[in-house]
């Protein structure tokens, strides 16, 4: 069976976070602290000082009120709107206000969803760790969420502290995929059939959205800090979005990483061949880290397949081409017709990854998108708490989250992944990406790049 996981030594990430030792199996685990007493109204004035914001947890009322707020679809254009050059102080403060408005209800919904799991499930040490991460993140964010000052009135120290809160949300080891996977492996048997999958589908997509919004604002802050550097004047980035991303370059980088893993684990180094007339020149506005994660996972599948099928001499062929525009989807009741038309006009590309690795058994074809808990073992289990995308990729071996998470990344911004397999021959994987409709003009000292972003991703 092609599980798509190369068994390889762990590659240490660059995050530098320590990994707490696992709790002994027979040691009692702390029950998750669900705040029940001392309810405060959500309109209660909060101090923005660090001591106040971290000393008291968000109350049941606050979490409930925020979680009840309707969530609107989040498009890539929403992230780029505040990063158009020139990047002014007002634009940064508007970005911070948008980030708070997006994050608070979404964090509250994740807390609420965890609370609704059976108590024995969320009492698991790893899932309790995830729960407390979201509770701390919301508690730290609430002072800024309730502090409704006009952007011009915000203090510099307050902005710096808010930046540290967002950085903690992104970098916390408690929100890593291995921690979540380990918790559901141990406690998933207490859930009804399908309940774990539904929770993970929703949780992983929400995780993508919250991290993307926070990372975008942090990237805009970092860009503003070096705005006077001549080396940054021709950058094609708006925050974490590269408006002139060349997927061919991403494929080459990812292929080198996966080839190293494969050589270390199998002693052989499969090859990638880029084919197709437009492969090298194709560009798209997209989040490079997302594309790197997806391509790395898909190449891990292909490389392992050709090695185990004895077809290392056959290169894995990657073709990149612009796709025909899709018909406009029906607009949401609250969405203007122009939004649906813009979404339909957004550029699309398709990346095909073809291997001669023998294909996927018909018995396994329906299982490849499932979260695989039974493949965990003590030999491959990895605490992999760093949350850099490359570190996360290397730590997913054996967890069975690579393919479903790759699909979640692709679908979040309006794309998708499809697979065609011929048993005994090989597999074609089609990665569809939705880019950006022309509209945002990024002016530099030497060139003018016209891009914008439209995507229907919901958190």
Mean predicted confidence (pLDDT) in 290-303: 95
Which region among 5-14, 30-39, 252-261, 290-299 has the lowest average model confidence (pLDDT)? 5-14
> What pLDDT is stored for residue 19 in this prediction?
35
Statement: residue 443 has pLDDT above 80: no
Confidence of residue 52 (pLDDT cuts 50, 70, 90): very low
> What pLDDT is stored for residue 345 in this prediction?
53
> What pLDDT is stored for residue 194 in this prediction?
84
Q: Which residues pair with 7 in a beta bridge?
A: none
Max mean pLDDT among 7-16, 17-26, 38-47, 100-109 falls in: 100-109
Statement: residue 49 has pLDDT above 50: no
> What pLDDT is stored for residue 446 in this prediction?
31
> What pLDDT is stored for residue 325 in this prediction?
55
pLDDT per position as a tens digit, 134-162: 999 999 999 988 875 445 555 667 788 88
More confident: 107 or 47: 107
DSSP states along 310-335: T-TTSPEEEEEEEPPPPPPPPPPTTS
More confident: 270 or 377: 270
Alpha helices in 81-124 (DSSP H): 89-115, 119-122
- Whether a cis peptide bond, with omega within 30° of 0, leads into 86 is yes
Put the strands of the sheet holding 426-434 in their side by side order: 272-275, 316-322, 348-355, 426-434, 416-422
Separation of alpha carbons 171 and 211, rounded Å: 9
Confidence of residue 435 (pLDDT cuts 50, 70, 90): confident
Statement: residue 21 has pLDDT above 50: no
> What pLDDT is stored for residue 338 in this prediction?
44
Statement: residue 39 has pLDDT above 50: no
Residue among 109, 180, 195, 240 at smallest CA distance from 385: 180
Q: What rounded mean pLDDT belongs to the chain? A: 75
More confident: 34 or 375: 34
> What pLDDT is stored for residue 161 in this prediction?
87
pLDDT per position as a tens digit, 320-375: 998 765 554 454 444 444 444 444 556 889 999 999 999 999 988 888 888 864 33
Max mean pLDDT among 42-56, 135-149, 159-173, 199-213 falls in: 199-213
Confidence of residue 280 (pLDDT cuts 50, 70, 90): confident
Q: How many CB atoms lie within 10 A of CB 334?
A: 9
Separation of alpha carbons 279 and 439, rounded Å: 24
Strands (E) located in 207-344: 237-238, 241-245, 272-275, 284-286, 316-322
In the chain, the percentage of residues whose pLDDT exceeds 90 is: 42
Confidence of residue 77 (pLDDT cuts 50, 70, 90): confident
Confidence of residue 46 (pLDDT cuts 50, 70, 90): very low
Q: How many CB atoms lie within 10 A of CB 366?
A: 9
Statement: residue 429 has pLDDT above 90: yes
> What pLDDT is stored for residue 151 in this prediction?
52
Mean predicted confidence (pLDDT) in 380-398: 42
More confident: 98 or 381: 98
Confidence of residue 272 (pLDDT cuts 50, 70, 90): very high
Which region among 86-90, 166-170, 290-294 has the lowest average model confidence (pLDDT)? 86-90
> What pLDDT is stored for residue 352 in this prediction?
96
In the chain, the percentage of residues whose pLDDT exceeds 70 is: 68
- b vs e for 147-168, b when ≥16 Cβ sit within 10 Å of the residue's Cβ? beeeeeebeeebbebbbebbee
Statement: residue 98 has pLDDT above 80: yes
Mean predicted confidence (pLDDT) in 27-55: 41
Mean predicted confidence (pLDDT) in 60-76: 88
Please give the structure tokens belonging to residue 228: 């006077």
Separation of alpha carbons 109 and 170, rounded Å: 17
């Amino acid at each position: 069976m092609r599980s798509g996981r190369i068994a390889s030594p762990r590659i240490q990430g660059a995050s530098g976070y320590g990994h707490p030792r696992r709790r002994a199996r027979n040691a009692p685990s702390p029950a998750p602290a669900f705040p029940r007493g001392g309810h405060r109204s959500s309109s209660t004035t909060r101090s923005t000082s660090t001591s106040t914001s971290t000393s008291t947890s968000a109350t049941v009322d606050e979490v409930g009120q925020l979680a009840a707020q309707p969530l609107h679809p989040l498009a890539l254009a929403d992230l780029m709107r505040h990063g158009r050059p020139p990047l002014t102080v007002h634009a940064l403060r508007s970005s911070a206000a948008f980030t708070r408005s997006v994050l608070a209800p979404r964090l509250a919904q994740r807390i609420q969803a965890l609370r609704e799991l059976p108590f024995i499930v969320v009492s698991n040490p790893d899932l309790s760790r995830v729960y407390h991460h979201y509770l701390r993140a919301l508690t730290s964010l609430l002072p800024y969420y309730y502090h409704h000052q006009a952007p011009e009135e915000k203090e510099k120290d307050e902005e710096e502290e808010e930046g540290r809160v967002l950085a903690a949300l992104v970098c916390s080891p408690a929100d890593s995929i291995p921690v979540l996977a380990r918790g559901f492996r141990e406690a998933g048997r207490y859930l009804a059939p399908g309940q774990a999958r539904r929770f993970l589908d929703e949780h992983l997509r929400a995780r993508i959205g919250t991290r993307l919004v926070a990372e975008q604002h942090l990237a805009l802050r970092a860009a503003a800090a070096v705005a006077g550097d001549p080396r940054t004047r021709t950058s094609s980035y708006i925050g974490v979005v590269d408006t002139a991303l060349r997927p061919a370059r991403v494929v080459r980088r990812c292929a080198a990483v996966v080839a190293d893993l494969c050589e270390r684990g199998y002693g052989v180094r499969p090859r990638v061949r880029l084919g197709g007339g437009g492969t090298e020149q194709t560009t798209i506005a997209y989040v490079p880290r997302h594309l790197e994660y997806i391509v790395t996972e898909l190449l891990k599948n292909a490389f392992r397949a050709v090695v185990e099928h004895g077809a290392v001499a056959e290169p894995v062929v990657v073709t990149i081409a612009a796709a025909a525009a899709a018909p406009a989807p029906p607009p949401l009741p609250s969405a203007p017709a122009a939004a649906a038309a813009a979404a339909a006009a957004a550029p699309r590309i398709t990346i095909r990854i073809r291997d001669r690795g023998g294909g996927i058994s018909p018995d396994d074809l329906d299982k490849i998108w499932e979260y695989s808990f039974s493949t965990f073992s003590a030999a491959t289990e990895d605490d992999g708490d760093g949350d850099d995308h490359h570190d996360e990729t290397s730590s997913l071996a054996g967890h069975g989250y690579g393919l479903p998470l790759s699909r979640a990344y692709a679908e979040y911004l309006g794309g998708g992944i499809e697979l065609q397999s011929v048993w005994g021959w090989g597999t074609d994987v089609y990665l569809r990406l939705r880019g950006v409709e022309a509209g945002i003009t990024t002016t530099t000292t030497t060139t003018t790049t016209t891009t914008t972003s439209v995507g229907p991703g919901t958190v």
